[in-house]
Amino acid sequence: MADKVRIFETARHVFRLNESQCDAVASCISATKCSEKPSVRLIWGPPGTGKTKTLSVILLMLLMDTSKPRILVCAPTNSALVQLASRLISLVENFTKTSHLLDDIIMFGSDKLSSCFKNTDNDLSKIFLKFLVNKLDIHHHRRRDEEDKLLQKAQLVFCTPFQSIRLSNQHFDILVIDEAAYLKESESMVPLTIDGIKHLVLVGDEKQLDSVVLSPVSLPYNTSDYFLISRLLIPYNTSDYFLISRLLTLLTANFVDCSQGYVWAEPL
């Protein structure tokens, strides 16, 4: 409990987060402190409540953890991945004591991923695997081996769920999925099968961005069955707070547009 309070105060005073954001940070970080007990944490919030900001603080605090957990961060689209990585880099560079942590972060993916870099204010080439290997000036037949060495060395890895299959022979402690409502449950199983993962953090809002289902066989069924975060939220949506209260943190501050059918409940 003392650990959770300390994390909450750090998030509030150092990173200037609001109360619900601090609750989310404290819940996620404190859960990962127990290495023997697996955990699942959900962060849900409408547009404007700071999901990306909150998640970037969680990632930075995990990077700063002296136990050095390995973290796999996935997002269903390249643009979502780039946005989160850019926010994390800004945090790392703005805190001089943690500037060296950039060496522990790697992003990899298809060539289309690098084309999204122009939409950010940060130079993501400093963490992009392809660019890092290009700097080594090695023969093309050794590229794959060097890439694997860099991935193995990294403490935090960004990639899409599909690309995470490349990491199947590596060990990670924590899996974080951003925009989780857009990711169908079958797709989320790809990173979840990676060895060692004991802690899962899902971030998203199924009312803002849900999965795209085109199959005529699947369409007649309830769309909430398609993605993991929505199924985990079912107890909350049915008012069974006891089942979900230890997993879910609602981000509520700064949200003003209720036109999308958002239903507010009492804070947990």
Burial class (CB in 10 A: 0-12, 13-18, 19+), 216: exposed
Question: What are the pLDDT digits (tens) for 48-57?
Answer: 889 999 999 9
pLDDT at site 203: 93
Question: 201 with 43: CB under 8 angstroms?
Answer: yes
Question: 17 with 252: CB under 8 angstroms?
Answer: no
pLDDT at site 250: 77
What mean pLDDT comes out for the span 116-136? 83
Both tokens of 74, joined, read 């996935």
Report the predicted TM-score, pTM, of the whole model to 2 decimal places. 0.85
Q: Identify which has the larger pLDDT, 244 or 63.
A: 63
Beta-strand (E) ranges in 193-266? 199-204, 248-250
- What are the phi and psi torsion angles at 104 (to 5°)? -95, 5
Question: What are the pLDDT digits (tens) for 4-30?
Answer: 889 999 999 999 999 999 999 999 999
pLDDT at site 140: 77
Residue 64's nearest CA partner among 37, 35, 29 is 29
Quick check: 201 pLDDT over 50? yes
pLDDT at site 265: 40
User: What is the rounded CA–CA span in Å between residue 125 and residue 24?
Assistant: 30
Query: What are the angstrom distances between the C-alpha of 166 and each of 56, 84, 144, 161?
Result: 24, 21, 11, 10
pLDDT at site 267: 37
pLDDT at site 215: 65
pLDDT at site 134: 86
Task: Give the whole-number percent of the chain exceeding pLDDT 90.
Answer: 44
Question: 178 with 55: CB under 8 angstroms?
Answer: yes
Burial class (CB in 10 A: 0-12, 13-18, 19+), 136: exposed
pLDDT at site 231: 66
pLDDT at site 146: 92
Question: What are the pLDDT digits (tens) for 154-182?
Answer: 999 999 999 999 999 999 999 999 998 88
Burial class (CB in 10 A: 0-12, 13-18, 19+), 172: buried
Query: What are the angstrom distances between the C-alpha of 117 and each of 85, 123, 205?
Result: 10, 7, 25
User: CB atoms < 10 A from the CB of 234, how many?
Assistant: 13
Question: 153 with 182: CB under 8 angstroms?
Answer: no
Question: What are the pLDDT digits (tens) for 239-256?
Answer: 554 555 567 787 866 654
Query: What are the angstrom distances between the C-alpha of 34 and each of 30, 38, 62?
Result: 7, 8, 13
Quick check: 268 pLDDT over 50? no
Burial class (CB in 10 A: 0-12, 13-18, 19+), 221: exposed
